[in-house]
Structure 1
Amino acid sequence: MATQVTVYHREGCHLCDRMFDELRSLQHRLDFHVQPVDIDEDPALRARFNVKVPVLAVEDEILCCHVLDVPGFERALEPD
């Protein structure tokens, strides 16, 4: 079953675009589903993540901000 990966982002963010591109490049070998969440649609998320986007969460645990931690992401997706 695919792991749920959430990317907190905002429109027009070049770092966000880069993270989405990197995640797409990993989907051919890792089993995960990306759920994008625009922080500007929720005042609480905007307050929490404003200057940290993009923020990647794996199964509700924050893994990285700004840039994709590929080795950490791969470890997070390893089966228990």
Structure 2
Amino acid sequence: MTARFTLYSRSWCHLCEDMLAALQQLAPPGAPFEVDVIDVDADPALVARFDELVPVLYGRLEEPELCHYFLDEAAVRAYLDRTATQPTPA
């Protein structure tokens, strides 16, 4: 199963850029993952929810966030390990 992340971000945020770059460096060789970058400023509901918390990183949206402000490498690696052991949906 390909790992997927959602990064809530904003365009002028250097912490957001730093988190995305650090996340991309954790991609295992031969097993890339997908990152959906969502601009919170494009949706007033997202601004209300995240505003000063960005960047906020999720694996599965139905689970708690993996981290915010700075990349939590241990949390991301644990998520990648869990994702790698799950079967691909049919």
- The verdict on a shared fold, with TM-score over 0.5 as the criterion, is yes
Measured after TM superposition, the shift of residue 26 of structure 1 is: 1.2
User: Between Structure 1 and Structure 2, how many residues are aligned?
Assistant: 80
Structure 1 stretches (4+) deviating beyond 4 angstroms? none
Structure 2 length normalisation: TM-score?
A: 0.81
Show structure 2 runs of 5+ residues with no match.
none
Structure 1 length normalisation: TM-score?
A: 0.90
Percent identical: 40
Measured after TM superposition, the shift of residue 31 of structure 1 is: 4.2
Measured after TM superposition, the shift of residue 72 of structure 1 is: 0.9
* Residue 12 (str. 1) matches residue 12 (str. 2): yes
Show structure 1 runs of 5+ residues with no match.
none
More strand as a share of residues: 1
User: Residues 10-51 of structure 1: CA distance to partner in whole angstroms, max 9, x if unpaired?
Assistant: 011010010011012112445421000000001111110000
What is the distance in 2 between the residues matched to 1:77 and 1:51?
A: 27
* Residue 66 (str. 1) matches residue 69 (str. 2): yes
Pairing of 1:36-51 with structure 2 (within 5 A): 36-51=37-52
Letter paired with 1:63: L
Kept after mapping to 2: 8 A contact 1:3/1:59: no
What is the distance in 2 between the residues matched to 1:4 and 1:24?
A: 12
Q: Secondary structure at the match of 1:11?
A: coil
